[in-house]
């Protein structure tokens, strides 16, 4: 099992290394549209400060003592406030441009990678190593903050023990076709496919990427880790029926999600009571009632896995109906892993085939998810 000491920092939000024509070169740098948007916002901020500093017709500073509460003393004068706003705008623009001037040029001839890393200071550093010295092709998820909007960045990279030599292969903000891309690059470079799980970085050889867990078990490459003497986790309910087994998530009354949900219900109920007391029934009452109903439905929802003879089925159980989220045939399952969401830092179970991935147990602790994973794998290969 490989170990990852530090995560490599890539600059692009959308990136794909072309391996069809070799030798090749490509640049990893901040997207230009980010520079344009950042500079425009910085210019607007600086322009507002300059306009208020030089072109405001009336000097409000003389009238401010009349408007301010008695005994109030302003820390900054209006002039200094305008200067600070201008400097903030200029600073943002400078930082955006400096980040854009920083880039990494990547060269690949089929046998070795060469990286020219240009720092913000203008200094260039060159790194080079042969492909055979790379540990594998890693698929990972990185939390990306873009101003007020947060999202995940999905990264496929050729992993090196020296993270400065780790090179990006594919980067996107959408998870679509990521597993296929991950397998494609691993096969193309003939490197092991790596994935970050609760056990660290696990490895799958390139020749085994299209094999199911059942096939790998028959070849002796995986074993069951399920312990029949281990007690059932408190957050899990196991129901055995004649034609199937069902794993349910027990209702947890004291987790953070439940407290937040009931907080929303109480706030909406208070709004409803206040609106009825003051104005009678109106649109606010209807809106608050809808919030209460929607939150109650979400809080009541339970997830479950139906383990049938030939497939796994993920189901969302609501107050009055069940909704099938997805299903995967057992013979097609290639991975069952416990992974972590970088944004919430909570773990979840992923059941993956060639073209599909199902998620389960986003609110469960990792040790309970590990028990479910071992139970499902044992059911597959028994």
Residue 182, number of CB atoms within 10 A of its CB? 23
pLDDT (tens digit per residue) in 131-165:
999 999 999 988 776 555 567 789 999 999 999 99
pLDDT of 20 above 60: yes
Instruction: Give the Cα separation of 312 and 253 in Å (integer).
Output: 27
What distance lies between CA 138 and its chain's CA centroid? 15
What pLDDT, on a 0 to 100 scale, did the predictor assign at position 110? 92
What pLDDT, on a 0 to 100 scale, did the predictor assign at position 112? 96
What pLDDT, on a 0 to 100 scale, did the predictor assign at position 57? 53
Q: pLDDT-derived band of residue 1, with 50, 70 and 90 as boundaries? A: very low
pTM of the model as a whole: 0.74
pLDDT (tens digit per residue) in 289-345:
666 666 666 666 678 999 999 999 998 877 667 788 899 999 999 999 999 877 677
């Amino acid at each position: 099992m490989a170990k990852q000491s530090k995560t490599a920092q890539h600059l692009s939000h959308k990136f794909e290394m072309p391996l069809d024509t070799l030798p090749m070169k490509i640049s990893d740098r901040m997207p230009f549209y980010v520079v344009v948007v950042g500079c425009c916002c910085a210019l607007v901020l600086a322009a507002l400060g300059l306009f208020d500093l030089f072109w405001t017709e009336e000097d409000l500073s003389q009238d401010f003592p009349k408007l301010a509460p008695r005994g109030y003393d302003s820390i900054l004068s209006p002039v200094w406030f305008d200067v600070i706003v201008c400097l903030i705008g200029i600073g943002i623009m400078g930082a955006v441009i400096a980040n854009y001037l920083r880039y990494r040029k990547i060269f690949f001839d089929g046998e070795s990678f060469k990286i020219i890393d240009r720092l913000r200071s203008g200094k260039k550093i060159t790194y080079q190593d042969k492909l055979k010295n790379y540990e594998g092709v890693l698929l990972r998820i990185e939390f990306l903050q873009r101003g007020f909007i947060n999202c995940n960045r999905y990264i496929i990279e050729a992993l090196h023990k020296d993270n400065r030599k780790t090179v990006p292969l594919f980067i996107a903000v959408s998870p679509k076709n990521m597993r296929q891309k991950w397998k494609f690059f691993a096969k193309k470079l003939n490197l092991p496919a790596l994935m970050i799980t609760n056990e660290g970085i696990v490895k799958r050889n390139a020749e085994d990427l299209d094999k199911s867990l059942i096939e790998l078990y028959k070849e002796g490459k995986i074993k069951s880790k399920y312990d029949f003497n281990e007690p059932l986790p408190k957050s899990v309910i196991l129901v055995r029926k004649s034609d199937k087994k069902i794993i349910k998530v027990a209702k947890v009354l004291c987790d953070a999600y439940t407290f937040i949900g009931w907080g929303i219900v109480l706030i909406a109920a208070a709004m409803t009571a206040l609106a009825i007391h003051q104005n009678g029934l109106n649109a606010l009452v209807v809106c608050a009632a809808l919030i209460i109903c929607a939150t109650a439905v979400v809080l009541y929802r339970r997830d479950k896995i139906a383990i049938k003879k030939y497939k796994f089925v993920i189901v969302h159980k609501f107050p009055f109906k069940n909704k099938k989220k997805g299903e995967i045939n057992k013979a097609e399952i290639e991975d069952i892993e416990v992974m972590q969401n970088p944004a919430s830092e909570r773990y979840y179970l992923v059941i993956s085939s060639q073209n599909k991935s199902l998620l389960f147990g986003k609110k469960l602790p990792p040790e309970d998810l590990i028990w479910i994973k071992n139970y499902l794998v044992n059911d597959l290969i028994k």
